[in-house]
Structure 1
Amino acid sequence: MQEHAERYLSSGGKEGHIYTVSPPGYGELQVPSLLLTTTGRKSGEKYIFPLFYGTAGKGWFVVASKGGAPEHPGWYRNLLADPMAEVRVGTETAQVRARTATGAEREALWQQALTFWPPYADYAKKTTREIPVVVLDPV
């Protein structure tokens, strides 16, 4: 993950925005990725996370799957404490406000997420929590 973020940053977003990976049980996938910068809920420091994403209106969305782990990923907990963040999508950067999608919006975005990263369905089966879908609205 750190190598991916470093390549993304060092190239100015020209590399790393399409991530090629072969998850177990799937063929090679080329997945769009962005860099999400959050503020640490305890430390107040900035943290960068490369995440797969889809588009939602004029913004983006990401999935807080943590591979189906029982707890939410740290970046999602950071956003719950402070929803203001920054994204780098390719060569573009934007300030965003994060919000957790619910209801029909969540379901539509979840279905979209399964098209670019089918393993999300496997992750959902591994956990009892509802995996959050997080919309990143530009501000």
Structure 2
Amino acid sequence: MPLRYVDPTKRHGPAYRATERFGRSRAGQFYARKVASRIDPWLYRASGGRLPSQAWTIPTAPLKTTGARSGQPREVQLTYFHDGRDPILIASNYGEAKHPQWYYNLIAHPDCQLGGERFVATEITDADEYARLFALAEQVYAGYRDYRTMTAPIGRQIPVFRLDPH
């Protein structure tokens, strides 16, 4: 199943808003970190990509990278959206002090797969482009605004990646 196109400017319905509200709650954050992160990759594979990216309202897909130090295959389920034809990833790590491990994997080995499609990842370093893409990310999931608020006091800027098709 091809990677689902995610338009960041699309209007959201009540189910989406309810899912987003839950995701931003303490219980939702616990669920995302401890439960969904473990079962979503399995659901995605078992359903041919229909779950969780289509049944749930906030789209996700598995990102497959190569471990920065180990060189071993790594997989994590991530929220994404498109800017034109390119998927965009936000390395928020739930607003934690450190970048997620997949950030380091993409820096060391930019070749990756998202939802089974091959890409080359590039970190966005231009300030204007970063601001534009982060604003779009907040339209996809308002929790990114929470994460930026959490990381600002410690000086961590949440990285943004553009995935260019192979």
Shorter-chain TM-score bucket reads 0.7 to 0.9
Distance verdict in 2 for CA 1:2–1:135, change over 3 Å: same
Deviations 1:14-34 (A, max 9, x none): 2111474xxxxxxxxx21111
Confirm or deny that 1:113 pairs with 2:137: yes
For structure 1, the 5+ residue unaligned runs are: 21-29
Aligned to 2:6: none
Compare CA radii of gyration and give the structure with the larger one. Answer: 2
Quick check: 1:19–1:33 contact (8 Å CA) kept in 2?
Answer: no
Q: Please list, as runs of the form range in 1=range in 2, the aligned pairs for 1:92-103 lying within 5 A after superposition.
A: 93-102=116-125, 103=127
TM-score by length of 2: 0.72
Deviations 1:54-101 (A, max 9, x none): 10222200100011111110001100011000110xxxx311000111
Instruction: Pick the aligned partner of 2:147 from 107, 111, 123.
Output: 123
Count the aligned residue pairs. Answer: 126
Aligned to 1:14: 50
Report which of the two has the higher share of strand.
1
Cα distance in 1 between the residues matched to 2:97 and 2:156: 7
Cα distance in 2 between the residues matched to 1:19 and 1:117: 16
Give the alignment's Cα RMSD to 1 decimal. 1.3
Kindly report structure 1 stretches of 4+ aligned residues shifted beyond 2 Å: none
Aligned to 1:25: none
Identity %: 33
TM-score by length of 1: 0.85
Amino acid paired to 1:130: Q
For structure 2, the 5+ residue unaligned runs are: 1-36
